[in-house]
Chain A
Amino acid sequence: MSDAEQPGLYVESTVIMTTVRVVTPFILTFGLFIMFHGADSPGGGFQGGVIAGSVVMMLAFAYGIEATRDWLDSRLVVAIASLGVLTFAGIGLGSILLGGTFLEYHRYPIEKASKYGIELVELGIGGIVASVIIGLFFVIAAGFGHAIDGGDES
């Protein structure tokens, strides 16, 4: 017990690894499920994004934080966050180009544009939230020394 409580010490456990491997796809699906439910029922990008982001945290607990950090391409995380913002803004600005006001969904020439529009926006928000949660997790896991050394990249 006392060994396991020491910070930074990773213990490989078959039980945890197997469980995470089985559960992960379901959690990711559940995260998406919550995101898509932002339009017409409680749910949305914030909650769904946190759930989707927690998948990476579970992987980190099961396979070790450093291993997960190496496995996950940090550029992907940054790209998802930026694209999330651009998705939201793009949907908003697109309706202006189609002659409406900002975020006026029903200007889009598709059926149930309002519902699909909101779902796409929620997906964008979910991407932002998940990326930020993952980023925060790795930054905190890296500890203070890293934060001060890497504070200014100039």
Chain B
Amino acid sequence: MIEHAPVLVIALPIVGGALPLLFGLFADRLGWPIAAVTLLGQTVLAVALATTVVDGGAVSYVPGGFVAPYGIELVVDGLSAVVLVLIAAVSLGVLAYARRAGPHADSFYAQYLLLVAGLSGMTATGDVFNLYVFLEITGLAAYGLVASGRSASAAVAALKYLIVGTIGASLYLLGAGYLLAATGTLNMADLAGTLAEAGYDSTLVLTAFGLMIGGLAVKVALYPLHTWQPDAYADAHDTVSTLVAALVSTVAAYALARLLFSVFTVGFFDAVPIAQTALLTVAAVSIVAGSLLAVAQSDVQRMLAYSSVSQFGLVIAGFAVGTQAAIVGALVHLVGHAVMKGGLFAATGIVERRTGARRLAEYAGLGERAPVTAAGIAVLLFAMVGVPPAVGFVGKWYIVVGAVEAGTWSLVVVLLASTLLTLAYFARLFERMYFTAPPSASTTDATPVPDGGNGREAVSTGMVAVVVAAALLAVVLGGTAPLVEQIVEQTVSTFPHP
């Protein structure tokens, strides 16, 4: 059965996604149990697949018996196996959060599972058009999830996300069309060879590169294409923010890396050095601009959202540098960021439910008011800044080492400065939580909370456990770097080199 795992990780959540609505006709509140069972199965499948891949190398699967490159191929190598496990584990974890936090509608769980299916499909596919299809499934599910928030601003954020996201996906599709015109194939492994024949510096190939990377950069939310992202993260329901912030941009960044290494390959950057310079420049600008915008925010969730713009700049910079150490760093930081940012969004949701606080100023004295959550936030913040031995440190360290190896000194400066910038906005939050006196009881009660209610809703142990688990993972995952290094070594050696 394990040989079918590449297609089952996509089919299972789709089947699971169809069930909540169907069973919802007969009974109430079956959405959560169905999603839990499906995602448990998904996690088992992903872990089994990952162990197979780590032991025995990349797995390829051709559905329908249509032989690649004409048929669609699913390929799971070390890189995609890591991301598949991340998707399954994070979505299962967020489900524990959703149990109490809601939304409880059956349609929410259907969309939740569809999102997981789309993300898994983007990760497992070996075909650039198939990637577009899953990109759209992911996008549509994410738009719907963002819109499921209670406030009207969630609907506006979702509309903005829909318009910008669709433009991004269309750019990607256009680029895939150019690739087809240039080479006559859409299979990634096949493209790697035929692109070299078509000539890396031909106008068609260059245009395809620009369009595809540009389209994915919208989905990753690199500056200045990030405009959909802060609204979508901050205005959506807390559960949705956690899931989307942890996974959607992460998988888009993975797809971008997949294009760089499996389709355009290292040979493209050798032939067209300006493409690498351009990508590095965008990444560096994103790092700096994202941090500066984060410093300027007074709403904590928006600050976290802009922080993602900066952190994904780091990840893309690591992939664009392209040395082995930098790729390891980018992958570690990709996974680490997903865990840390997911945990932080989950924590802000808990804080809002418990105290009604949304803005930085309202976080004053949180260390006394909600000690466990505040401690979780503090650990995640320091992990994100890059205090050893947390995963944030390991990722950034490898990226910097890679950049030094490649001799891109200006990038090294930006990378080191980014740590200080991250500290700049997270230190403000930390200072508020632990070194500012909590407001007196009368002022908290008088503080009006937007979006109705007094902001004090039930917080379950499961919700706090998600934050604690994320904080622990953020510390522990740093130790997995040698494993990632081994995986990347295996995978990179399978990347075609010129």
Interface residues of A (CB under 8 A from B): 75, 78-79, 81-83, 85-86, 89, 92-93, 96, 100-106, 147-148, 151-154
Contacts and interface: CB of A to CB of B under 8 A. Distances in A.
Contact of B15 (A75, A85, A152): A85
B4 A85 contact: no
Given A75-B25, A101-B4, A152-B102, A86 B148 contact: no
A85 B14 contact: yes
B24 A100 contact: no
A106 B65 CA distance: 9
A115 to B, nearest CB: 14
A81 B150 CA distance: 25
A78 B25 contact: yes
Contacts of B64: 101-105
Interface in B1-39: 4, 7, 11, 14-15, 17-19, 21-22, 24-25
A53 to B, nearest CB: 17
SS of A interface (majority): helix
B361 interface: no
Contact of B22 (A83, A89, A148, A154): A83
B7 A82 contact: no
Contact of A151 (B4, B14, B102, B148): B148
A125 to B, nearest CB: 13
B450 interface: no
Contacts of A89: 11, 14-15, 18
Contacts of A154: 102-105
B63 A151 contact: no
Contacts of B104: 153-154
B22 to A, nearest CB: 4
Contacts of B209: none
B61 interface: yes
Q: Closest 4 interchain pairs by CB?
A: A82-B22, A85-B18, A102-B63, A102-B7
Contacts of B237: 152
Nearest to B4: A96
B148 A152 contact: yes
Which of B22, B103, B104 lies at the interface centre, i.e. has the most chain A CB atoms within 10 A of its CB?
B22
